């Protein structure tokens, strides 16, 4: 096995172009588990810890750009106001030790349907910046990034550089079902983001389909029928929203839960998170 240690982004892209089979490692919270358990024997590890720019986040032209190496702890401490949905999801990842090492970039690279960052990224229309030496930068909307179970649109010679998310203009919430608060891989999860200026609501479903996905019909329903000036959320509309979100899920039975339970839980979490977000929105509107 090779251990490759580029110190600049250009060097990292060159290494990945020359050795596309090299497995990038950032916090190691997924990659090292597979190596420790002999599930994976990569021919090379590509350590990205030394590429300092990946650990930075910034606001550029009104968009928040989070480097692929920014650990969850930094998302929680620095971005709770700007990206509240992603920060909430980050708080539910593993334990403090895991959050100190794990990154959103790594979560995207692993592309597990249960990854906690995916639902809030989908709900907030995040765009993933990837790059290769040969073809340069590609900007991939989150909704087009997840292709299958642990499969993404990332090409073998590409590396994930950053994720771009517009700062929240409305309330965002994340909800996750698990057996306890810490160290939980989601049984299923749900994220909602209100975009009041567009009179639109974004959604993200986690761990209830082969890939993280949006509940598009549920989003369309709210775009058509949600009255943003009304004092209350129409209970009938809320119910239909929950059912359409549940209908967008396509889960399986596995060790963490049954498909039937997951569908039910998505319905409940969709209604809950939308209610929380709506109540916050009413509070802001009144203020």
Partner 1 sequence: MRVTFTVNGREESAEGVWEGESLLYALRERLGLPGSKNACEQGECGSCTVYLDGVPVCSCLVAAGQAEGRQVRTVEGLAEGDRLDPVQEAFVECGAVQCGFCTPGLIVQAHDLLERVERPSDAEIREALAGNLCRCTGYEKILDAVRLAAARKAPGKETSA
Binding site for partner 1 (CB under 8 A): 1-3, 5, 25, 27-29, 31-33, 35-37, 41-42, 44-45, 47, 49, 73, 94-98, 100-101, 181-183
Distance in angstroms (rounded) separating the CA atoms of residues 170 and 162: 23
243: helix, strand or coil: helix
| CA–CA separation, 43 and 32 (whole Å) | 14
Q: How is residue 181 written in tokens?
A: 């608060």
Supply the minimum distance, in Å, between the C-beta of residue 1 and partner 1. Answer: 4
d(CA 11, CA 5): 9
In whole angstroms, how close is the CB of 33 to partner 1 at the nearest point? 4
In angstroms, what is the minimal distance from the CB of 239 to partner 1? 35
Q: Compare residues 44 and 237 and give the one whose CB is closer to partner 1.
A: 44
Cβ proximity to partner 1: between 40 and 151 the closer is: 40
Find the shortest distance in angstroms from Cβ 89 to partner 1: 16
CB of 97 to partner 1, least distance (A): 5
Q: Parallel, antiparallel, or unpaired for β 151-152 and 136-141?
A: unpaired
Whichever of 22 and 111 has its CB closer to partner 1, that residue is 22
Looking at the Cβ atoms of 37 and 136, the one nearer to partner 1 is 37
**What's the full length of the chain, in residues?**
287
Nearer residue to partner 1 within complex by CB, 181 or 197: 181
How many Å apart are CA 119 and CA 245, to the nearest integer?
13
Comparing CA positions, the residue from 89, 93, 24 lying closest to residue 54 is 24
Nearest distance in Å: CB 75, partner 1: 15
Residue 194: strand pairing partners: 201
Q: Determine whether 76 is exposed, middle or buried from the number of CB atoms within 10 Å of its CB (0-12, 13-18, 19+).
A: middle
Comparison of 97 and 169: residue with beta carbon closer to partner 1: 97
**Six-digit token pair at 161?**
């550089």
Nearer to partner 1, 80 or 167 (CB): 80
- Locus of tokens 């580029």: 6
User: Residue 40 CB, nearest distance to partner 1 (Å)?
Assistant: 9
| Phi, psi (rounded to 5 degrees) for 126 | -65, 155
- Exposed (0-12), middle (13-18) or buried (19+): which is 60, by Cβ within 10 Å? exposed
């Amino acid at each position: 096995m090779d251990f490759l240690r580029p110190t600049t982004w250009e060097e990292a892209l060159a290494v990945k172009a020359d050795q596309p089979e090299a497995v990038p490692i950032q916090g190691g919270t997924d990659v090292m588990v597979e190596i420790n358990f002999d599930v994976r024997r990569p021919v090379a590890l590509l350590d990205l810890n030394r590429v300092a720019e990946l650990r930075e986040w910034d606001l550029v032209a009104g968009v928040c750009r989070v480097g692929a190496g920014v650990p969850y702890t930094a998302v929680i401490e620095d971005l709770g106001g700007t990206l509240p949905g992603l920060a909430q999801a980050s708080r539910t990842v593993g334990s403090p030790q895991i959050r100190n090492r794990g990154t959103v970039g790594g979560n995207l690279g692993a592309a597990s349907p249960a990854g906690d960052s995916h639902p809030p990224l989908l709900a907030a229309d995040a765009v993933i910046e990837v790059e290769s030496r040969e073809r340069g930068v590609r900007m991939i909307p989150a909704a087009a990034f997840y292709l299958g179970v642990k499969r993404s649109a990332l090409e073998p010679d590409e590396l994930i550089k950053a994720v771009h998310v517009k700062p929240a203009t409305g309330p965002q919430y994340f909800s996750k079902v698990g057996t306890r608060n810490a160290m939980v891989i989601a049984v299923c999860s749900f994220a909602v983001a209100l975009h009041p200026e567009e009179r639109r609501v974004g959604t993200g479903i986690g761990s209830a389909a082969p890939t993280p996905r949006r509940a598009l019909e549920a989003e369309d329903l709210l775009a058509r029928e949600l009255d943003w000036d009304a004092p209350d959320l129409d209970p009938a509309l809320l119910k239909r929203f929950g059912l359409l979100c549940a209908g967008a899920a396509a889960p399986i039975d596995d060790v963490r839960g049954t498909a039937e339970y997951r569908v039910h839980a998505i319905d409940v979490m969709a209604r809950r998170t939308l209610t929380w977000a709506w109540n916050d929105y009413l509070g802001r509107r009144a203020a």
